[in-house]
Structure 1
């Protein structure tokens, strides 16, 4: 793990956010999402200019119509010209609205793509320190907030600015005194809306954070629904999730309060301006300083002036909310990926005579943020803490070698660091000190993708992915044929699973493999590793959920596929590993013995006790 990721300071992801909590984003960070669609936005801007021109011409034509009516002159084509400009303006606005809606949806899509690509390439330590539901919320809910940026005014502001400036100039030419009378009213309303935008951004950021926590709570409750029902904890879980929903509601009310003030401010500004114009304008018409037609035209331009001002108020509100959500999006996009950490890495090039794997005085401790998050999660789930919930060294100077083509077992009590060793081999983490060698090369200098392609890794609680049996098998071997899939399934004694359904390997397994038994899920994970046929197999408690018959069948299958391959096995049942070429005994993160079963019974008290308890001596 890089020094940056080890030393990064982060508040606990479970801390309750305060009013000012949450990552902050700036308009500069928002623009790249918008400018990805700059061609469409240019076209929208052109349409905005045309619509603005067509709109600004209308008050002038109305003024001309009034003057001709007062003079008793024929209207001629003026009425038709006015109707034409109204129709053109409406048609342009409709097409522009469609483009903005489409572009807003495209912005959401592009932001989701970037987030998904970033999240799926984050270091494992980031997943340890964050809740899955919160990450899901950023992809689903937070990105949706960006939609409002385009649909509520950013691109449309081009035409709005033109209308605003054009109306302002026209009003100045008609009557500067009337214009000065309303500038003060409009200026105060703009200041009020700008001050509200900061409050909206903070409230939105807090709301989105709470929605993320709510999503995490729901995911946790649904994922463990059977355990929760069996423990009689349904009511408690309901209260916990409902509390999160209520907190998110309260934050949403804060957003609503701030945004609700924007609408009346715009309305008050329009009404006050109209009263000023009618009062002052009426007096000026009575004194003969302004003609009736000019006053009507001025009022029309005032309406046009307030319209883009209202759009601007809406844009400020929507951008403020989007910046609150964008802060959470940008926080994830700014995280370094594994690919970034692998810059300059090289492919594996085996060194002749070197062992397949070697640990040289390896020390390791989990990052503090990951430890805090894991401890909190296990506390909430009321399960015992394991080796990942300590800030002490999990491994303390571990040294051993795994010769090519050999079978090596890792044994020892829970918390000794066995699973951590496999996690380090997969480079989910890098050691705090010491060196791990793969085929004679420092693993930190090797490409993670190339390194992992050489391992077949079966986790202790290997997940079964929603989908079919074939989907799970082909996760690491996408080109495997149906015959290959069936072969490995029968090798691990899963033939009955595909025989009992007419769908065969296309049989659904349900969410988290719920339609399979625990032993079947474990055998499916082993079959997935066997199908990939990598040079090194890593098996973490791979037979712990199997009965005696299936365990023996599994051992036979592994024996067959392991021939000529390197095999590292973690096991609590020593009967499954007593015939290993080498057994490494771990206790409290240290190697306390190495050798064959017979050698360790004679030399290592811990191993002798384990063997005695399992009736192997």
Structure 2
């Protein structure tokens, strides 16, 4: 488990370098087989074409030999020339169709791997996104999966047909002249040993290159997503230098792959040339001595070419497969990670058996909950800005002017964020969580949503331990508005229908009206289809927050979690938002986090937290009289 209760990966300050991507384990060839077997029918058909193409190719030297023999005897060629032309045409047609099928199947392998990767990626525990970077994950989907295509298109399946051609040519050459064949095999054996020795280096170099491409993608994503902050801080040149450094790293690793590949590629050519010279020299001598005929030598040379070509395909297949296995290792690293819900059964086995939710029990109950974010979530020690601390722990966000100093800013990684927290949120009532930054308020909402599970203690929903409930069932009962009010790229409608895809236009307009957001519809003729831009950049901060609240209201859940839901609103819209929340609060349980106490003074219960502990609970007037910290907060905000 890690820190922020957000599905987006942690972003670091634009003024420091992110940690490098882990290269991950290298995949085995056996892990590649399932991707190929998904297309086994068409692969068998392609292999059948390869066999036919190989047969057509092997027949050509035999016909050429017969043509030379007939010409030497001064006889008529008859239909041999036309038969030879037909074989060449058939071989070409088969080769072209086979190439198309291989390309098509290769795209199918890429599509399949991307589907699996994205499906697993979006089901990963939130903690995985806390410690991984967006750009690197995107690189695995876009770049790494593309390399799997090369397994098919650069010779793996063609190597099957090539093997038949190789073996057939080998047998024919053995029949024609075993001596020439022995010399040829000796040259080829040296080249094969060389390629096998280099193949492992190709896999390692390719994997490192893909990891550096992931670093580059992460740097570009970070720079673009923070471009306004970068410009405002006059840090553009520094960001360019950072991205350039990662681009250079990717280039260097690419050069390493090119160097190793450059040693493999000429091997087939050198083997071809040396074999040809040996056969031509020794073969000429044997023709002169009468050991073989000219027709047999020509046929032997043609078979030699046919044997060397599949060998080149095999070398290409080895190189492409090793590059693909390097990329597949990064893909499998994500696919092999446990899904968020995989741990449910194991966790449920450690707690009491699930009961029946009670209508008389509190909607939400915390019972001696202890929780801490692991040290693994922390980034490099040089990053000391408050934003970095907020990413490791969302409750250690920068203090507002009204917050007194808090030791939470000095919390060490792995220290408990919640220390035996106990409180109840009554059904149909409004419960407010207040306290200094770093007190543990946002962490509480993240635990209710089961982004994380507590180390000890229990959280109950209607009297039932939430660890015994499927996450989907639990989250269907809860509406959650995060502190940073995320808005997805797309239209207003896309954002509203995220959790309620069957809602009508009338429902969407109703909730927009409830949060005073109908002016956004009025200023764009597209209405609900108006784009909001990347991360809602075409909306103001207050509009983004209200749109996120409208999205939660549309699903009409029995429990609403609002984390600083009015922090970006002006006074007028804050009052309208409070009225809207009051309207939807009927028969609903609200748990609200607020730094501005004016927005929660009328809550049924206010829970005061400090340094991960509950230090008071009650109404506003009760807490002013009994809890010094709350009184101090209220005094700073002129509420007493």
Q: 2:419 aligns with which of 396, 414, 427?
A: 396
Q: 1:405 aligns with which of 394, 406, 428?
A: 428
Correspondence 1:317 to 2:319: yes
Spell out the pairing of 1:184-583 with structure 2 (5 A cutoff): 184-343=186-345, 349-372=356-379, 387=393, 390-583=413-606
Per the alignment, do residues 575 and 17 of structure 1 end up closer, same or farther by CA in structure 2, a change over 3 Å counting? closer
d(CA) in 2 for partners of 1:47 and 1:384? 60
Correspondence 1:141 to 2:143: yes
Q: Would you identify which runs of 4 or more consecutive aligned residues in structure 1 move more than 3 Å? A: 13-18, 342-349, 375-386
Per the alignment, do residues 217 and 15 of structure 1 end up closer, same or farther by CA in structure 2, a change over 3 Å counting? closer
Contact in 2 for aligned 1:378/1:384 (Cα 8 Å): no
Contact in 2 for aligned 1:125/1:367 (Cα 8 Å): no
d(CA) in 1 for partners of 2:354 and 2:496? 26
d(CA) in 1 for partners of 2:210 and 2:151? 17
d(CA) in 1 for partners of 2:69 and 2:573? 99
Structure 1 counterpart SS, 2:452: coil
d(CA) in 2 for partners of 1:17 and 1:419? 29
Deviation at 1:369, TM superposition (A): 2.4
Correspondence 1:57 to 2:59: yes
Give the aligned partner of residue 45 of structure 1: 47
Deviation at 1:263, TM superposition (A): 1.9
Mean CA deviation greater in 556-565 or 474-483? 474-483
d(CA) in 2 for partners of 1:23 and 1:285? 56
Unaligned runs of 5+ in 2: 3-16, 395-411
Per the alignment, do residues 47 and 211 of structure 1 end up closer, same or farther by CA in structure 2, a change over 3 Å counting? same
Give the aligned partner of residue 159 of structure 1: 161
Contact in 1 for aligned 2:378/2:392 (Cα 8 Å): no
Deviation at 1:342, TM superposition (A): 3.2
Deviations 1:172-195, CA, capped at 9 Å, x for gaps: 111111111111110010111111
d(CA) in 2 for partners of 1:277 and 1:290? 12
Give the aligned partner of residue 10 of structure 1: none
d(CA) in 2 for partners of 1:53 and 1:348? 70
d(CA) in 2 for partners of 1:377 and 1:70? 85
Give the aligned partner of residue 88 of structure 1: 90
Give the aligned partner of residue 7 of structure 1: none
Contact in 1 for aligned 2:19/2:379 (Cα 8 Å): no
d(CA) in 1 for partners of 2:267 and 2:524? 66
Contact in 2 for aligned 1:347/1:447 (Cα 8 Å): no
Mean CA deviation greater in 81-90 or 304-313? 81-90
Spell out the pairing of 1:21-40 with structure 2 (5 A cutoff): 21-40=23-42
d(CA) in 2 for partners of 1:419 and 1:378? 21
Structure 1 counterpart SS, 2:432: strand
Give the aligned partner of residue 5 of structure 1: none
d(CA) in 2 for partners of 1:348 and 1:42? 54
d(CA) in 1 for partners of 2:550 and 2:530? 16
Per the alignment, do residues 348 and 550 of structure 1 end up closer, same or farther by CA in structure 2, a change over 3 Å counting? farther
How many residues end up aligned between the 2 structures?
605
Deviations 1:313-336, CA, capped at 9 Å, x for gaps: 100010011011001001000000
Structure 2 counterpart SS, 1:567: strand
TM-score, structure 2 normalization: 0.92
TM-score, structure 1 normalization: 0.95
d(CA) in 2 for partners of 1:462 and 1:102? 42
